[in-house]
Structure 1
Amino acid sequence: MSGSKLKPVQAVTAVGCSLTIVSEDKRMRWLIAPDSFKGSLAAREVAEAMARGIRRAEPSADCRLCPMADGGEGTLDALHATLGGEWHRASVHDAEGRPCEAEWLLLPHGVAVVEVARVVGLPDVGPASVHERDTRGVGELIRACLDAGARHIAVGLGGSSTNDGGAGCLVGLGVRLLDREGQTLAPLPDQLGRVAALDLSGLDARLEVTKLELWSDVDNPLLGPRGATAVFGPQKGVAPDAVARLDAAIARFAAAADHAFGQPCAELPGSGAAGGLGYALHLLGGRCHSGATALAELSGLSDAIAQVDWVLTGEGCSDGQTLAGKAPARVAELARAAGVPVSLLSGAVLPDAEGQLAAHFDGCFSLCSRPMTLEAAIQQAAPLLEQAAEQLARLVLAGRRGP
């Protein structure tokens, strides 16, 4: 993994047989590593707003920006802002089967990154119900990466509008779904209960020599009470009385898919991510990784943290779920390991009665300083972030000066 290239901020002086660290200046050194504020600001824009606020408190502050993500919406933008890379565009189909253009990113060290939310994301859905959406476009985008020569592909799984068990993705890569009569079926959720077999003869052979990674912040299996449909389906429009029926249909598809690929994958952690897309990628040989951990490693976050005095992270809304693989939790974990204080500044910080969230940060702060609607908070996110970051920085600076 490539690390960040940061200029040294300390001088090392030899004293006898030991080394003494001498600071070059007394400026406060900050590492700003937030996730995006979904529906409002990209992670880079959040980091820039935080830096502007900090510099109001201390104009000479050294602010280093490292936008973060966890594999969901904003992953490509965060990677590009930190590492650069080459943008590519491909013609694929969206969740409702409409032609669309989708971007993917080739990182400097050769990893191709696909963001599912850019193909079948929730903000892009039209009038069709979840039963009429599939992930074929994701498979098409993976094939576009293969066509460009990529043999190491990472797929960020967050933010999907689909619940097709990944059947569409397999079809986009050349698989055929067959009923009992051998007729081809569409990879739509309502058709999955009719799947009797999979024809793999058209599956893209290049996948056999391709390293496939799944980036996710969830470890749910495909089926059952913790599965894709039961947990995430209602968020995408699956009616309560349809959950069991759709779960059974996906289970039938999975039985045929497991048989065709010769391996059971429905219980693997992360198989339930992105409406079961994680399951399909497991069938193809993919391995699941924490999205936040992957981005932290790629951006050299540990090394960057070791060079600063304070770390600031955040996201649109924080609660107990933040600790379940979200980017701010990974940032906090690395800061704690390095012995560097870390604070959380989010759009909203929900009640944390047991103190689990607070225990991971040196202060949890919300940018909403007065009663306001969600729409107003979204529209004013940047100036509100600047104001909150300034006040946080003033508090930190006061503590450093002492009484």
Structure 2
Amino acid sequence: MTDLRVAIAPDSFKGTATAIEVTTALAEGWLSVRPGDSLIRMPLADGGEGTLDAFELAVPGARRMPVTVAGPDGRQVEASWILLPDNSGVIELAVTSGITLLDPLQPMDAHTLGFGQAIAAAIDSGVDRLYLAIGGSSSTDGGAGALTALGATFFDEDNRPIAPGGHGLASVASIDTSHLRAVPAGGAIILSDVTNPLLGPSGAAAVFGPQKGASEAQVAELDQGLRRLAAVLGTDPETPGAGAAGGTGFGLIAWGAAIASGADAVGTVMRAPEAVSSATVVLTGEGRFDGQSDAGKVPSYVRSLAEQAGVRPMLVAGAISAEPTGFAAAVSLTELAGSADAAMGETVHWLREAGAHLAQSL
């Protein structure tokens, strides 16, 4: 049996295992079958949960900077952002305003104020550039909360500040940006894993609102509120990625940030292209491989690197609901475990089994 060089480059399995835990478990499973193989362990992220961990792991000298912010329901959250040696700051929405911080969900009232507070803290510390990871959001406020924390004020028709969250957008009529912090001199890059526009059937409210607990009537109200916000900010709501994170992408674009593929940006920092091209096989994965996975998420990014380098890509996912085209092999934890509940209850165990299963498939 010829020993191989194997790159393991997954995203997190949201809510059940971090990217580092996924990488470790897959490696253990693989080595239980092929102990002589050489492994490259490279946990990735696409702008969602785990992005801070990925940067901290990849960049020597990266430092965690603690910050206390208002969570998506107003309660205080102890969070952090990453200061990189080149004086860039990395801020992750999931740890400041993320959906995992809410129980129960609050589709109309959750907001991004805390995310903006963390951005403001990084700016006030003197960073030259920002990386803004916006996956895993809990709200549909168009980024109004974040912009408020950065110094903007949104008013209704009676010149009163609007309420936080998507509910407040129903009355937004104007904005005062006289105290809005400027984008750092080196720019701000939005790390996103989706390309949805802000409005309409493919927009933030329609596609992601139900995932955040919004009813059909609330989706319609949120979409109308985002339409009012678009009129106030004067930015094109059709911009790809404007609908990301409940429209937070739109608010940040209006502020002056540029949107990029989160997986590509994180992968570049972690030298993923070089790692994949040096391997014979690459394992990647995410919690759910579905119709959105080809829109810039980690598995599609890694698969494209493998295709360019002539490397065999393999996929592991908690569940697979779309054809895993382009992968030499694919395995679902749900199928291995016999049910979704079993897979989610012992995710790390079944990840080890998945690693062993793929190694055996060779």
Report the TM-score, using the length of structure 1 for normalisation. 0.85
Question: Is it true that 1:75 corresponds to 2:45 in the alignment?
Answer: no
Aligned pairs for 1:189-268 within 5 A: 189-205=166-182, 207=183, 209-258=185-234, 264-268=235-239
Amino acid at match of 1:248: Q
Counterpart-to-counterpart distance in 2, 1:129 and 1:53:
39
Counterpart-to-counterpart distance in 2, 1:236 and 1:368:
23
Structure 1 residues 336 and 370: CA distance shift in structure 2, 3 A: closer
The structure 1 residue matched to 2:342, chosen from 376, 394, 401, is: 376
Match of 1:333 in 2: 304
CA drift at 1:41: 1.1
Structure 1 residues 335 and 200: CA distance shift in structure 2, 3 A: same
Q: Answer whether contact 2:334 2:340 (CA < 8 A) is retained.
A: no
Structure 1 residues 211 and 384: CA distance shift in structure 2, 3 A: same
Match of 1:90 in 2: 67
CA drift at 1:35: 0.9
Match of 2:286 in 1: 315
Question: Is it true that 1:149 corresponds to 2:126 in the alignment?
Answer: yes
Larger Rg: 1
CA drift at 1:190: 2.1
Q: What secondary structure sits across from 1:70 in the alignment?
A: coil
Counterpart-to-counterpart distance in 2, 1:365 and 1:203:
48
Q: What secondary structure sits across from 1:323 in the alignment?
A: coil
The structure 2 residue matched to 1:303, chosen from 259, 274, 281, is: 274
CA drift at 1:234: 1.4
Match of 2:161 in 1: 184
CA drift at 1:168: 0.7
Q: Answer whether contact 1:67 1:82 (CA < 8 A) is retained.
A: no
Structure 2 unpaired stretches of 5+ = none
Q: Answer whether contact 1:153 1:211 (CA < 8 A) is retained.
A: yes
Amino acid at match of 2:350: L
Match of 2:250 in 1: 279
Structure 1 residues 348 and 178: CA distance shift in structure 2, 3 A: closer
Structure 1 unpaired stretches of 5+ = 1-24, 259-263, 397-403
Q: Answer whether contact 1:29 1:61 (CA < 8 A) is retained.
A: yes
Match of 1:342 in 2: 313
Aligned pairs for 1:41-56 within 5 A: 41-56=17-32
Structure 1 residues 116 and 351: CA distance shift in structure 2, 3 A: closer
Q: Answer whether contact 1:71 1:217 (CA < 8 A) is retained.
A: yes
CA drift at 1:208: 5.6
Amino acid at match of 2:202: R
CA deviations over 1:122-145 (Å, ceiling 9, x no partner):
111134622111111111110011
CA drift at 1:26: 5.4
Match of 1:111 in 2: 88
Structure 1 residues 129 and 394: CA distance shift in structure 2, 3 A: closer
Structure 1 residues 174 and 348: CA distance shift in structure 2, 3 A: same
Aligned length: 361
Q: Answer whether contact 1:96 1:126 (CA < 8 A) is retained.
A: no
Q: What secondary structure sits across from 2:292 in the alignment?
A: helix
Identity across matched positions, percent: 40
Question: Is it true that 1:393 corresponds to 2:354 in the alignment?
Answer: no
Q: What secondary structure sits across from 1:316 in the alignment?
A: strand
Amino acid at match of 2:358: L
Counterpart-to-counterpart distance in 2, 1:146 and 1:131:
29
CA deviations over 1:194-240 (Å, ceiling 9, x no partner):
222111111124x2635111111111111122211111111112210
CA drift at 1:311: 0.8
Match of 1:101 in 2: 78
Return 161-170 or 240-249, whichever deviates more.
240-249
Structure 1 residues 113 and 48: CA distance shift in structure 2, 3 A: same
CA drift at 1:49: 1.1
Structure 1 residues 136 and 347: CA distance shift in structure 2, 3 A: same
Structure 1 residues 150 and 395: CA distance shift in structure 2, 3 A: same
Amino acid at match of 1:148: S
The structure 1 residue matched to 2:11, chosen from 15, 24, 35, is: 35
Q: Answer whether contact 1:112 1:152 (CA < 8 A) is retained.
A: yes
